[in-house]
Structure 1
Amino acid sequence: MERDSNDITLKNKLKEKQLFKISRFKEVVKRTKPHKHDAYFELIYLSQGAGFHWIDADKFQIAPPVVFFLSGQLHYWEMTEIPKGYVMLFREGFFDKKDLMNLVRSLEDTVYVNPSEDDNLDFIFGEMEQEYRNPSKNSTELLQGYLQVALVKLLRHKDQTSVTVISKGQEVFRKFQYFIQQANPVSNLKVNQVADHIGLSPQNLNAICRKVSGKSASELITEQVILEAKRFLIHSDKTISEIAFALNFTDPSHFIKYFKKTVGKTPQAFRSRYFQ
């Protein structure tokens, strides 16, 4: 476990060259500390349990069967009943076929899915855990196959009967999203800097962002700054001034105006209302 430069706990449950891992969810009732995972995806399936799962500023009630899909968000658990299920971790490098990664990308904007019993996720995840713990010839291919089946079943709950191939514009947008999510601090970013990193003109980057998300690159950068600010306001004891400096605002009053213009209330008002 480590901390990033802004005191957010980073948990790395995969070894440096490890691409995949599956294990049973810890069967304990407790509140975990807010943390995030970088550089890999996390797919959590719960067949039993109760409580809440906080993901960034959103609170999800745990109503099994349920699947949570995480790709770097800050999260923590508030369990009130013993949970049962599985935790699957995997890096992009686990997939040797582009179609599999397309399935993951199609699920990326969905963090919460209630599958049906007919999806047989208990069986699928159970078989994957057995294969992972007792590997044999072609285990990787078998695990990839099971994961593909699980992802397709989950995507059906998004009312998608098929997964379309990701266009070049969508690939660029994914790179843009990843870059601003990893930037530290993101408030320093300018559209022309990101465009230069990706290898596009600012005009082309803006056009792609608007086509894919309906928002400009600048608006999306602002959203990321506000998300980071909300994480600090909710999950840390930092003062407003400390948060402003952590996000690289030279003047706390500038940060307060920036936040209020976007959110509609001051940082302190947001924090107070959140904990009412």
Structure 2
Amino acid sequence: MKRITQFDGLYGEAGPQQANVPSGGEYLFSELLETRSRAFDWVIQPHVHARLFQVFFLETGGVEFSEATQQRQLTGPVILLIPPALLHGFIYTPDAKGRILTLADSLIDQLFPATSALSAMLGAVQCIQAFDEPYLAPVVGQLFAQIDEELFGDQPEKRTMLHLDIQRLFLVLYRLWQHGETVQHTANSLPAQYFRRFQQRVRQVGTTHSIVQLADELAITPVHLNRICQAMAGKSASQLVQEHVISEARKYLTYTNYSVSEIAYLLHFEYPNYFARFFKKHTRLSPTEFREGKQAE
């Protein structure tokens, strides 16, 4: 079975190039979307970056965006945020134009710690398609261009300016994302809003938080959270957490070459044997048995 490729650097590169690392050793790179895409005949096969966060800004043209379990047809302007270790692939139309910003996960953590309001946005794949005043698409495009100009320029205090430019860009993206979330929730009930926030948090923390902790973060009781989950999905909060983790584990075992220990780490298990027991309890197969079965298909 064909395996999904892992890249330590950019797509098609074995690892980060030294020229892409500004002062301080934080991996950061900016490029035109069409440059690399054209080199691969507009097809970027599904792949993962273990430690890199990417922002894709498709200004014009179209793309078929592939995740682990779905494909979406998108037309510019659109922004995609791809956290580390998440599968993604693209098939662009030949007229596609835009920019790609790639950052080390350590730089994201430094600029936007876990306590930041942006953590909910940064913890999952996001698709931003609505650009409203004062942040119309050309304005956002200029923020990307400013980072590109600073990165490849030679001005004093370059690192400080880059950090400020990145923070401004992500704060603008957060405002656009929040506005989209607010519009979507306007027609939704309060339980639906709680349920969506619960799903987002589960994607970020997996099994590291108890249901009590997750409920506390939503400022509701565990009983209330379970009632919401039953009403929205017909399952308890614990069942939804377990299903999410198993789904992610299957994805990694099927589409990547990560070892079982590495997958356990990515899914926030303290020890690999905890992950192996959890996986077998819910699938009746060990992670190795599951992977071998997929390879034989």
TM-score normalised by structure 1 residue count: 0.59
Separation in structure 2 between the aligned mates of residue 65 and residue 133 of structure 1, nearest angstrom:
25
Work out whether 1:130 is the aligned partner of 2:188.
Answer: no
% identical equivalent positions: 13
Task: Quote how far apart the aligned CAs of 1:53 are.
Answer: 0.8
Aligned length: 212
Pair 1:222-2:230 in alignment = no
Counterpart of 1:115 in structure 2 is: 130
CA distance in 2, matches of 1:11, 1:149: 28
Q: For 2:182, what is the secondary structure of its paired residue? A: coil
Distance in 1, Cα, partners of 2:252 & 2:180: 29
Cα displacement (A) at 1:46: 0.5
Kept in 1, the 8 Å contact 2:131–2:176? The answer is no
How does 1:1-276 map onto structure 2 within 5 Å?
8-13=4-9, 15=16, 17-25=25-33, 26-28=36-38, 29-71=41-83, 72-90=85-103, 91-94=105-108, 95-96=110-111, 98=113, 101-106=116-121, 108-109=123-124, 111-116=126-131, 118-119=136-137, 120-136=139-155, 137=157, 138-139=160-161, 140-159=163-182, 177-178=203-204, 180=206, 204-205=212-213, 211=225, 214=229, 215-229=236-250, 254=284
Indicate how the Cα distance of structure 1 residues 46 and 144 shifts in structure 2: closer, same or farther if over 3 A, else same: same
- The answer to whether the 8 Å contact 2:113/2:119 transfers is no
**Cα distance in 1, alignment partners of residues 211 and 248 from structure 2:** 25
Q: Distance in 2 between matches of 1:27 and 1:98?
A: 32
Contact 1:27/1:82 (<8 A) preserved? no
**Structure 1, unaligned stretches of length 5 or more?**
1-5, 161-169, 181-193, 237-246, 256-266, 269-276
Contact 2:37 2:92 in 1 (8 A): no
CA distance in 2, matches of 1:96, 1:109: 17
CA distance, structure 1, for counterparts of residue 246 and residue 212 of structure 2: 22
Measured against aligned partners, the alpha-carbon deviations of 1:165-222 in whole angstroms (never above 9, x if no partner) come to xxxxx9xx95x75564xxxxxxxxxxxxx55xx7xxx574575596499453453133
Q: Which amino acid aligns with 1:81?
A: P
**Counterpart residue identity of residue 31, structure 1:** V
What's the offset of the Cα at 1:21? 2.8
| Pairwise CA distance, 1:104 | 4.4
SS in 2 for 1:115: coil
Contact persistence 2:203–2:244 (CA under 8 A): no
Query: Residue 190 of structure 2 corresponds to which residue in structure 1?
Result: none
SS at match of 2:118: helix
Q: What is the rounded CA distance, in whole Å, between the counterparts of 1:75 and 1:97 in structure 2? A: 23
SS at match of 1:159: helix
State the Cα distance separating 1:102 from its structure 2 match.
2.2
Q: Letter of the 2:244 partner, please give it.
A: E
Distance 1:158 1:75 in 2: 23
| Residues 25-74 of structure 1: per-residue CA shift (max 9 Å, x gap) | 13414322221122332211101222301011111112100111111321
1:47 and 1:104, CA in 2 relative to 1: closer, same or farther beyond 3 A?
A: farther
1:19 Cα offset (Å)? 4.5
In structure 1, the residue matched to 2:289 is none
- Cα distance per residue 1:58-107 (max 9 Å; x no partner): 11112100111111321111223242111122325344465994224335
TM score, norm. by length of structure 2: 0.55
Measure, in 1, the Cα distance between the counterparts of 2:112 and 2:80.
Answer: 23
Inter-partner Cα distance in structure 1 for 2:63 and 2:86:
19
Match of 1:239 in 2: none
